[in-house]
Structure formats: C-alpha cells, structure tokens
Amino acid sequence: PLVLGIETSCDETGVGIVRGHTLLADAVASSVEEHARFGGVVPEVASRAHLEAMVPTVERACDTAGIALRDVDAIAVTSGPGLAGALLVGVAAAKALAIGLGKPLYGVNHLAAHVAVDQLEHGALPDPCLALLVSGGHSSLLRVGDVTGDVTPLGATIDDAAGEAFDKVARLLGLPFPGGPHIDRAAASGSSVSIDFPRGLTSRRDLERHRFDFSFSGLKTAVARWVEAREAAGEPVPVADVAASFQEAVCDVLVRKALDAAASEGIDHLLIGGGVAANSRLRAMAEQRAGDLGIRVRVPRPGLCTDNGAMVAALGSEMVRRGRPASGLDIPADSSLPVTDVLV
Ligand code: ATP
Ligand code: MG
Ligand code: FE
C-alpha cells in the first residue's frame, strides 16, 4: 500500500510517502530558525508555520515520490503527543485529505513512529525488540512486540528528557538552539574523561527502585555548577571538554540501562530512536558495548531520527499491512497521548 504520513507535533512540518517498507519521499519544512532566538520552540509560531508549510510540503513529497495524491491508499497522521496547536494543524490537514480522497485515516502515536521508522532502513522489526526512545520530550525504555499495538514501558525519565538536557547544557555553554547537534560537534574536539559528571540513578540504592529509569536534571545542575565555578574564578570555560564529558555521562547511562533491560528481558535486538539517537557518541557506544554482549543494535540514519513525516508513514503502512482498523474521522489532537496508545 502507498501511505502518506503527516507529522506536525513540534516544529517540523513533515510529509513522508512510503510503499510497504520502501521510502519514496520525506519532505520536511522546519520553523526551527524562527524559534532559535527564543531559545526554545514557541507554540504559536510553530502552529502558524505548519499552516503555511503544509500544502507546499505535501506537494513537494508527491513530486519527489512521483505520485499523484489520488494514488495514495491511506493517510497517517501524528495524533499526539506534542504541542496541541501544532498537532491540530496536521490532524486537520489529514482529515481534509482523507475526506477529499475518500481514503482511510490512521491517527498514530509520534513516539511509536520514532521506533517504526527503522523499518524503512533495516526492514521488518524483530519481535520482540528493546527500544531506547530518546528525544526532546521523552526518554524511555520500551519492550516492543508489535509496533502497531504491543508496547510495554519498562522505564522512563523521572525529570528531564535526554534531548532536553542536551538543549539546556548547550544553552549554558552559549551554543545555539537546538543544542544536541552543537554539543555533538563541540564534543568531537574535547576530552570525554576530563570532567567526571554524575550518572543519574545508577547507585545501588537507586537501582533498586529505578533500574530502568533515567534522571538528567542532576547532571544538568552539575554542569551548571562546574561552569559557574570556572567563571567565578575568572577562568575560560573549556566548551569542548564540558560538552564531551557531559555527552559521555548521558550516553553512558542510556546505553548501560538499555543493555541491562535487553539482557533482563532476554531480548537480543536494541533499537534506538528519537532525535538524540542522531548523536554520534551514543551510536558508537551502543554499537561497541552491545557487540560484547551479542546484542544487535539498530539505529536509523540521523535524518530519520529527528522528526519527519516518513516515520508517520512507516507506522501507518504497518497498520495497513497488519490489517488494523482505520481511525474514525473524529480523531483528536492529544498533546499527552501515552506511548502505549499507538493507534488512536
Ligand atoms: P518528542 O519526540 O519527545 O515529542 P521532539 O519531537 O521535539 O520530542 P525530536 O525531534 O525527536 O524531539 O528530537 C529533538 C531533540 O533531539 C532535541 O532535544 C535535539 O537537541 C536532540 N538532538 C538532535 N540531534 C542530536 C545530536 N546529534 N545529539 C544529541 N541530541 C540531538
Ligand atoms: Mg525539531
Ligand atoms: Fe520526536
């Protein structure tokens, strides 16, 4: 089936077109530059940008795929979680297309889509697989049987998301928003062992209650204190070393807990998804440590880790393939949709 997917949960207007597991088009328009000077995404600005970008992005995706809209067999759209006003634009556009074309509509979960997208690159997902979902708003460990419905959370962050920590630390270091890619780049020329930053929820006591949970707010505070002390002493801040040491602390905990979860569940495939999965150190470290345990790692290419429409089309395509019933035309935009609600 030919599926068109629409993503508008944050600041990327994404339209993807897939046939089965084959990616035909992935058009993305981002309003990130409009938010950069505010140091974070401004919801109202994002909603307006989606409204302006929607039709041109749909057209661009169809051109790239070499298809006409009437060829599409189903429409998929992110129903949540995300910014309410931003989601509304995508959901309204998807409903309009579904009505106009007379095709079924699938309202899907953005987080599950971050997992499903890997099928476009590495083929069908193994059942089960252990997913480490790390993005701007979420950090979770999930046991995924069937990505269209069988998703069990094993743990999650108890405070900041991993991407949020990257963005906050970048800001502290005077790097632009969104900070993840800038920290990644700065870290390349720094030493990851120069500063020993804390690994949240890894003490024996914390592991008793929070074995598969994460905490990044203490790490963020530790970095802030370290930078303040430097500045108070009138010494320059070694940005590359701080970035590398911070990044090492985040990746160490993510990989350690993900592999522990996989081993304890008896799962030999680790899938990493979400914007932070684009991080070069996270990818390399997971690959290296998993190899020693005989666990296979799957990570989509960086461009498919950050928000895009292809991920939504990929999940929609899987819904069609597995014969899941389409959503009604009354699907909501649900800003706090739980990860276990894959199809709305
Ligand atoms: P969610 O998926 O939880 O709703 P979101 O959709 O806003 O959040 P994504 O687009 O999935 O988030 O991910 C964006 C996050 O990924 C940002 O916090 C960004 O800094 C981070 N990120 C992107 N590239 C990298 C990188 N190379 N290294 C670390 N973090 C990165
Ligand atoms: Mg974004
Ligand atoms: Fe996302």
294 pLDDT band, cuts 50/70/90, is very high
Closest CA to 313 of 45, 83, 64, 130: 64
Mean pLDDT of 251-259: 98
Nearest protein CA to atom 16 of ligand 1, as residue: 275
Task: State the pLDDT at residue 139.
Answer: 98
Query: What's the 263 CA to ligand 1 centre distance in angstroms?
Result: 26
Query: What's the 194 CA to ligand 3 centre distance in angstroms?
Result: 31
Cβ of residue 5 lying under 6 Å from some atom of ligand 1: no
CA distance readout (Å), 250 to 55, 145, 234, 256, 308: 39, 27, 28, 10, 24
| 110 labelled ligand-binding | yes
Nearest protein CA to atom 31 of ligand 1, as residue: 180
Q: What is the mean pLDDT of the chain?
A: 98
Residue 201 near residue 215, CB atoms below 8 Å? yes
Joined together, the tokens standing for residue 267 give 């799962």
Residue 234: is its pLDDT beyond 90?
A: yes
| 279 labelled ligand-binding | yes
pTM of the model: 0.97
Cβ of residue 181 lying under 6 Å from some atom of ligand 1: yes
Residue 147 near residue 115, CB atoms below 8 Å? yes
Residue that has been written with the tokens 């509509």 in this structure: 105
Mean pLDDT of 11-32: 98
| 307 labelled ligand-binding | yes
The greatest distance separating any two alpha carbons of the chain, rounded to the nearest whole angstrom, comes to: 67
CB atoms within 10 A of CB 198: 16
Tell me, what's the ipTM?
0.98
Residue 230: is its pLDDT beyond 90?
A: yes
Joined together, the tokens standing for residue 73 give 């067999």
In angstroms, rounded to a whole number, what is the distance separating the alpha carbons of residues 214 and 250?
10
Residue 39: is its pLDDT beyond 90?
A: no
Task: State the pLDDT at residue 62.
Answer: 98
The predicted-structure confidence for 94-114, as pLDDT tens digits, reads as follows: 999 999 999 999 999 999 999
Rounded to a whole number of angstroms, the distance between the first and last alpha carbons of the chain is 20
Joined together, the tokens standing for residue 143 give 């046991």
Sequence letter at residue 180: G
Mean pLDDT of 243-257: 98
323 pLDDT band, cuts 50/70/90, is very high
The answer for residues whose C-beta is within 8 angstroms of residue 179's C-beta and 6 or more apart is: 166, 167, 168, 169, 170, 171, 173
Joined together, the tokens standing for residue 71 give 């060829």
37 pLDDT band, cuts 50/70/90, is confident
Burial class of residue 33, CB neighbours in 10 A (0-12, 13-18, 19+): exposed
Residue 36: is its pLDDT beyond 90?
A: no
